[in-house]
Amino acid sequence: MILLDGKKLSDEIKNNLKQEVLVLKSQSIEPCLAVILVGEDSASSTYVNSKARACEQCGIKSLVYRLDVNTTQNELLALINTLNYDDSVDGILVQLPLPLHINKDIVLESINFNKDVDGFHPFNVGILNLNLKGGFLPCTPLGVMKILNHYGIALQGANVVIIGASNIVGRPMATLLLNANASVSICHIYTRDLKAYTKNADIIIVAAGCPNLLKEDMVKDGVVVVDVGINRVDGKIVGDVDYENVSKKASFITPVPGGVGPMTIAVLLENTIKSAKNRIKK
């Protein structure tokens, strides 16, 4: 079994990004990412802090807006509009989930798609689904693709099962894999007989938010397993895969933590620098 070490790969990517940032700064362009957090969700706050630290490591300017949980939707939209028109800001990220009184879709659509480094704006979703160049691809699915490519895992013709159909991971993940000529099945909470899908899969990507969902008897020998899940159980961070037992049959597997998570942040930084480079073209 070979560990798919996302932490090591993300460090390599960030080291390369440091050099790109230096080049941009020599051209009087300082890449800048603005992150907006509404409320005091502890997990979201941890993610925001991680993104800010990663920006600092690469020399990217980080603006963090921590808004009260009672912030209105109009107040949030006004802040986004200000950032949209700020030429010094290259990327805008609104940390999800948002409080229930705020419409997530309206907020995400309000972000200038040229600064949508999360890849959630309908324009960028369309770019992905039409397999066109340009735009921004969503960070976690693209991070998974980079891990698979880095370790030489063949995708063309592979039988891939994705567990989880969210707009953030499952659906864009499926599209990226289809674009790479894999055969893809998406399973979700209403799927009957999940094991019938996973047992024959060459690659399984789990993003369901359910600890130990994928078990040893659900996979074949030599399977490649990518665990996107992040759950807290008895004070420990665990994924969606029964790692101890599934790893005995897997040829490749990601750890949690240290697998997909670091790659999500690395791709976010890549997207921010990609946006900053667009300033040169203006």
What positions carry a catalytic annotation?
Answer: 51, 95, 118
Among candidate residues 52, 78, 65, 168, the one with its CA nearest the CA of residue 120? 168
Pairing of strands 2-3, 61-67: unpaired
In a 13 Å sphere around the CA of 153, the CA atoms on its Cβ side amount to 28
Pairing of strands 231-233, 236-238: antiparallel
- CA–CA separation, 108 vs 126, rounded Å? 14
Structural tokens at position 238: 């665990």
Among candidate residues 27, 29, 28, 46, the one with its CA nearest the CA of residue 37? 46
Structural tokens at position 26: 């020599």
